[in-house]
Structure 1
Amino acid sequence: MRPEESWSHVGLVQRKEADSVSNKSINTDEEDGGLQICRVCGDKANGYHFNVMTCEGCKGFFRRAMKRNVRLRCPFRKGTCEITRKTRRQCQACRLRKCLESGMKKEMIMSDAAVEQRRALIKRKRREKTEVPAPGGQGLTEEQQALIQELMDAQMKTFDTTFSHFKDFRLRGEDGSIWNYQPPSKSDGKEIIPLLPHLADVSTYMFKGVINFAKVISYFRDLPIEDQISLLKGATFEMCILRFNTMFDTETGTWECGRLAYCFEDPDGGFQKLLLDPMMKLHCMLKKLQLHKEEYVLMQAISLFSPDRPGVVQRGVVDQLQERFALTLKAYIECSRPYPAHRFLFLKIMAVLTELRSINVQQTQQLLRIQDTHPFATPLMQELLSSTDG
Structure 2
Amino acid sequence: MYNQFNALTPASSPSSVVYGVVAGQEELSSSSTSLNLECRVCSDRASGYHYGVHACEGCKGFFRRTIRLKLEYDKCERRCKIQKKNRNKCQYCRFQKCLSVGMSHNAIRFGRMPQSEKLKLKAEMVTVDKEVENPQLADQKTLAKHIYEAYLKNFNMNKAKARSILMGKTNTAPFVIHDMETLQLAEQTLVAKMVGSVGAMKDKEVEVRIFHCCQCTSVETVTELTEFAKSVPGFSSLDLNDQVTLLKYGVYEAIFAMLASSMNKDGLLVAYGSGFITREFLKSLRRPFSDMMEPKFQFAMKFNALELDDSDLALFVAAIICCGDRPGLVNVAHIEVMQESIVQVLQLHLLANHPDDTFLFPKLLQKLADLRQLVTEHAQLVQEIKKTEDTSLHPLLQEIYRDMY
Could you tell me the TM-score, scaled by structure 1's length? Answer: 0.57
The separation in 1 between residues aligned to 2:324 and 2:346, in whole angstroms, is 18
| Residue 383 of structure 2 is aligned to residue 357 of structure 1 | no
**Which residue of the other structure, out of 124, 127, 132, is the alignment partner of 1:134?**
124
Indicate the residue corresponding to 1:150 in structure 2: 146
Deviation at 1:274, TM superposition (A): 3.4
Distance in 2 separating the partners of 1:165 and 1:320:
42
Offset, 1:254: 2.2
**Aligned-partner Cα distance in 1 for 2:398–2:126:** 38
- How far has the Cα of 1:132 moved from its partner? 2.8
Q: Deviations over 1:294-337 (max 9, x none)?
A: 11011111110111212211111111211111111111121222
**Which residue is equivalent to 2:52?**
none
Q: CA offset at residue 165 of structure 1? A: 12
**Deviation at 1:237?**
0.9
Q: Which position in structure 2 is the counterpart of 1:213?
A: 228
Query: Residue 258 of structure 1: CA displacement?
Result: 2.2
Question: Is the 8 Å Cα contact of residues 171 and 198 (structure 1) preserved in structure 2?
Answer: no
Residue in 2 aligned with 1:323? Answer: 340
Distance 1:137 1:179, change over 3 A: farther
C-alpha distance in 1, partners of 2:236/2:403? 21
When residues 193 and 165 of structure 1 are mapped into structure 2, their CA distance, relative to the original with a 3 A threshold, is closer
1:29-68 → structure 2 map (5 Å cutoff): none
Structure 1 residues 348 and 220 mapped into 2: Cα distance closer, same or farther (>3 Å)?
same
Q: Encode CA deviations 1:15-37: one digit per residue, 9 max, x unaligned.
A: xxxxxxxxxxxxxxxxxxxxxxx
The 8 Å contact of residues 148 and 315 in structure 2, kept in 1 or not, is answered as no
Match of residue 253 from structure 1: 267
> What is the alpha-carbon distance in structure 2 between the residues aligned to residue 235 and residue 311 of structure 1?
13
- Report the equivalent of 1:200: 215
**1:355 positional shift:** 0.4
User: Which of 384, 390, 397 is the matching residue for 1:374?
Assistant: 390
Whether the 8 Å contact between 1:245 and 1:286 is mirrored in structure 2 is: yes
Q: Between the two structures, name the one with larger relative contact order (CA 8 Å, sep ≥ 6).
A: 2
Change (3 A) 1:130 1:230: closer
Tell me: CA distance 1:216–1:167, structure 2 relative to 1, closer, same or farther (3 Å).
Answer: farther
Q: How far apart are residue 217 of structure 1 and its match?
A: 1.9
- Structure 2 distance, partners of 1:130, 1:168, is 39
Aligned to 2:360: 345
Amino acid at match of 2:122: V
1:219 is paired with a residue whose SS is coil
Question: 1:197 is matched by which residue type in structure 2?
Answer: H
Q: 1:253 touches 1:263 (CA, 8 Å); kept in 2?
A: yes
Instruction: Tell me the residue number matched to 2:35.
Output: none
Does residue 240 of structure 2 align to residue 244 of structure 1? no
Instruction: Give the 3 Å change call, closer, same or farther, for CA 267–154 of structure 1 in structure 2.
Output: same
TM-score (normalised: structure 2) = 0.55
- Distance (Å, rounded) in 2 between the aligned partners of 1:309 and 1:130: 35
**2:402 aligned partner, one-letter code:** S
- Identity percentage of aligned residues: 20
Q: Residue in 1 aligned with 2:55?
A: none
> What CA distance in whole angstroms lies between the structure 2 residues aligned with 1:130 and 1:202?
35
Match of 2:88 in 1: none
**What's the offset of the Cα at 1:286?**
0.6
Offset of 1:205 from its aligned partner? 1.0
What is the Cα deviation at residue 260 of structure 1? 2.7
Change (3 A) 1:315 1:331: same
**Contact 1:234–1:387 (8 Å) recurs in 2:** no
Q: Deviations over 1:180-213 (max 9, x none)?
A: 76xxxxxxxx943331111111111111111111
Distance 1:386 1:264, change over 3 A: farther
Aligned to 1:159: 155
Structure 2 CA distance for aligned equivalents of residues 235 and 385 of structure 1: 11
Residues 254 and 261, structure 1, Cα contact 8 Å, conserved in 2: yes
Distance 1:130 1:262 in 2: 36
Structure 1 residue aligned with 2:195 = 169
Contact 2:245/2:326 (<8 A) preserved: yes
How many angstroms does 1:387 deviate by? Answer: 4.0
After the TM superposition, which of the residue ranges 347-356 and 373-382 deviates more from structure 2?
373-382
Question: Residues 149 and 135 from structure 1, CA distance in 2 versus in 1: closer, same or farther, beyond 3 angstroms?
Answer: farther
Whole-angstrom distance in 2 between the partners of 1:374 and 1:227: 34
What is the SS of the residue equivalent to 1:308?
coil
Please give the secondary structure, in 1, of the residue aligned with 2:276.
strand
Q: Does 1:235 align with 2:250?
A: yes
How far 1:338 moved relative to its partner? 2.6
Distance 1:209 1:130, change over 3 A: closer
Aligned residues: 248
Query: For 1:348 and 1:321, how far apart are their aligned partners in 2?
Result: 21
Shift in CA distance, 150/374, structure 1 to aligned 2, threshold 3 Å? farther
Counterpart of 1:27 in structure 2 is none
Q: What is aligned with 1:179?
A: 200
Q: Which portions of structure 1, spanning 4 or more consecutive aligned residues, are displaced by more than 6 angstroms? A: 162-166
**AA paired with 2:373?**
S
